[in-house]
Amino acid sequence: MTARVLYAGAPARWDEYRPALARALEQAGVDCVLGDDLPADEVDYIVYAPNGPVSDFTPFTRLKAVLSLWAGVDTVAGNRTLTVPLARMVDHGLTRGMIEWVTGHTLRHHLGMDRYIHGLGGDWQPAYPPLAEERGVTVLGLGALGRACAETLAGLGFRVTGWSRSAKTIPGLTCLHGEAGLAEALASAEILVLLLPNTPETENTLNATTLAQLPEGAVILNPGRGRLIDDEALLAALDSGHVGHATLDTFRVEPLPRAHRYWSHPRVTVTPHVAAETRLRTSSEVIAENVRRAEAGEPLLHLVDRSAGY
Ligand code: NAP
């Protein structure tokens, strides 16, 4: 049977995705028609992104699965018109990009690079940072991205603690889980990395209470989602100096409004949701493999647990 695959990602990227998806589907041995404007009642699979044209899945009467190009599925997981399996993106290129962003910003703060980048003004004052093995880093979220970042940081020598919903054992990491493990995970977080999904349970994971559990002067990196943080509580902790710096890549409202205090706060670095990007070739291969699996009656990769929201 010929599978009908609708591209419903960002329209501006169709010209790039058309050849990449076509090649990956062919290499996966999938017999298919690929398009960006197929009749809804003929579509078997939707290649989906939140910045694409589809938000109501009702017209897609023979749909078999929705395959997200994005790792974060917070805007679609709760969509009531979606009644078929939803797979999210776990992509080699995306993971490598996140490792690089997290490692770069961790090393910036660990080494105190700002002091030299801003300039010593002729004031010769050596100040040695501790070794990584003397620095506690905590990663909230030990999924595809969090675990890869945590393992890389541990490989550099950092004392890494990871926190997740379910219990885990990962060599080289101290693993904590559940509500009971959060305070302990935060207590050792001189640098804290947020790589949780946005779900009803994770909203405001960082609030006035949990921010107070961080060590004095802790640094926060948030490439996860803006809603993980109570912004007013973070701004208060930054104002007081209890939080030494926040490097934020994700925000409740994106683009971050021009008047937002994060833009001008001296202890905040804003990056415009660039931590990690789904990569054309590798993501197309993941999509093609899932179409192949679905057509062969095999289980899909990276299925979203709709009740958990990720
Ligand atoms: P993932 O594989 O689904 O992993 C999510 C992790 O969070 C899992 O370890 C999970 O625990 C944990 N978790 C979920 N709910 C929790 C809770 N209530 N308490 C404690 N831990 C909880 O996701 P991923 O692929 O690593 O991606 C993480 C997030 O990164 C995405 O959802 C997205 O928001 C963000 N992201 C950002 C960018 C960017 O450019 N800034 C790019 C891609 C993704 P279990 O392991 O126990 O299930």
The residues that bridge with 229 in the sheet, in sequence order, are: 206
- Structural domain contains residue 309: no
- Cα–Cα distance measured from residue 144 to residue 102, given in angstroms and rounded to the nearest whole number: 14
From the candidates 225, 245, 279, 292, which is the catalytic residue?
225
User: Which residue is it, tokens 């790589």?
Assistant: 195
CATH number of the domain residue 223 falls in: 3.40.50.720
For the stretch 135-183, pLDDT in tens is: 999 999 999 999 999 999 999 999 999 999 999 999 999 999 999 999 9
Q: What is the pLDDT of residue 22?
A: 98
> What is the pTM for the complete model shown?
0.97
How far away, in angstroms, is 88 Cα from ligand 1 center?
A: 11
| 302 assigned to some structural domain | no
Cα torsion 241, 245, 250, 254: sign: positive
Q: Is the CB of 198 under 6 A from ligand 1?
A: yes
Calculate the average pLDDT of the chain.
Answer: 97
Pick the catalytic residue from 13, 242, 273, 293. 273
282, 255: one domain: no
Sheet holding 45-48, edge to edge: 32-35, 3-8, 45-48, 65-68, 86-87
Q: In this model, does residue 1 exceed pLDDT 90?
A: no
Angle at 102 between CA 99 and CA 104, to 5 degrees: 100
Asked whether residue 139 falls in the same domain as residue 26, the answer is no
- Among 76, 164, 182, the mutation site with the greatest number of ligand 1 atoms within 8 A of its Cβ is 164
Which residue in 159, 109, 113 sits closest to 134, CA to CA? 159
Name the residue of 76, 195, 277 whose CB sits within 8 Å of the most ligand 1 atoms, as the mutation to test its pocket. 195
The residue range of the domain holding 197 is 94-270
Average the pLDDT over 183-199 and give the result. Answer: 98
pLDDT digits (tens, 9 = 90+) for 56-103: 999 999 999 999 999 999 999 999 999 999 999 999 999 999 999 999
- Give the model's confidence band at 259: pLDDT under 50 very low, under 70 low, under 90 confident, else very high: very high
Same domain, 87 and 100: no
